């Protein structure tokens, strides 16, 4: 059975550089034989995590959908933009809701433990979102995700993409496609 990868970005912008970046890595993963589900967090809106809300109303319907998607996939491909040198609110909120325990689950972190992830980012700034990736890596590592060391941060993203969504720099394009292949290959070995 091919490895199953859940791909998404920490951005809600329609013309997000990170959505374009993730699409390139998704292509690489699919070419390597992985089955990839590419979701848009905008289609699964969640309230801000609030333990009183959770206690009173339980897991939001979209939170339960997201958690099932995480559980049903072997790996995560995440394009994480940087806001104020850190993780975006939408990405952190998604992780927080998906990490909550549902009735009958053996562990609140079952959607994360044992999964493998690969990270990337794109930013108009000179570091390409690199500072935010440090925080995403730390959060995921602390909740049991195996975060692979390979990553790409595309600087000056407003100049980096062609009209068709590919990267203008062929080496960078190949590196990002390689992230998808690397995750697919790692998951294939993990499942063997």
CATH of the domain at 95: 3.40.50.360
**Rounded mean pLDDT, 98-109:** 85
Report residue 3 as tokens. Answer: 């490895």
Give residue-wise pLDDT tens across range 121-158.
999 999 999 999 999 999 999 999 999 999 999 999 99
**Residues 78-106: what's their mean pLDDT?**
93
User: Whole-angstrom Cα distance, residue 93 to residue 74?
Assistant: 21
Range of the domain at 119: 4-191
Average pLDDT, the chain: 96
Residue 85 has pLDDT above 90, yes or no: yes
Instruction: Single out the residue of 178, 186, 175 nearest to residue 75, CA to CA.
Output: 186
| Tokens describing residue 181 | 């292949």
- pLDDT (0 to 100) of residue 107: 83
180: alpha, beta or left? (left if phi > 0; alpha if psi -120 to 50)? alpha
- Counted domains in the chain: 1
Distance CA 46, CA 93 (A): 8
Distance CA 154, CA 176 (A): 9
Average pLDDT on 38-52 reads 96
Phi, psi of 72 (to 5 degrees): -75, -5
CA distance 79 to 184: 16
pLDDT of residue 104: 77
Task: Tell me the average pLDDT across 186-190.
Answer: 95
The answer to whether residue 101 scores a pLDDT higher than 90 is: no
């Amino acid at each position: 059975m091919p490895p199953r990868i859940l791909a998404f970005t920490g951005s809600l912008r329609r013309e997000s550089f990170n959505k374009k970046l993730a699409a390139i890595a998704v292509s690489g993963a699919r070419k390597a034989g992985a089955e990839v589900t590419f979701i848009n967090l905008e289609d699964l809106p969640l309230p801000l995590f609030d333990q009183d809300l959770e206690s009173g109303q339980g897991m939001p319907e979209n939170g339960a959908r997201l958690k099932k998607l995480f559980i049903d996939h072997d790996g995560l491909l995440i394009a994480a933009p940087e806001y104020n040198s850190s993780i975006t609110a939408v990405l952190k909120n998604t992780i927080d809701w998906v990490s909550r325990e549902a009735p009958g689950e053996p562990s609140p972190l079952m959607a994360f433990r044992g999964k493998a992830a690969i990270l990337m980012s794109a930013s108009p700034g000179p570091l390409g979102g690199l500072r935010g990736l440090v925080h995403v890596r730390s959060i995921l590592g602390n909740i049991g995700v195996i975060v692979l060391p390979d990553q790409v941060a595309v600087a000056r993203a407003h100049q980096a993409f062609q009209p068709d969504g590919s990267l203008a720099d062929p080496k960078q394009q190949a590196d990002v496609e390689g992230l998808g292949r690397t995750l697919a290959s790692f998951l294939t070995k993990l499942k063997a």
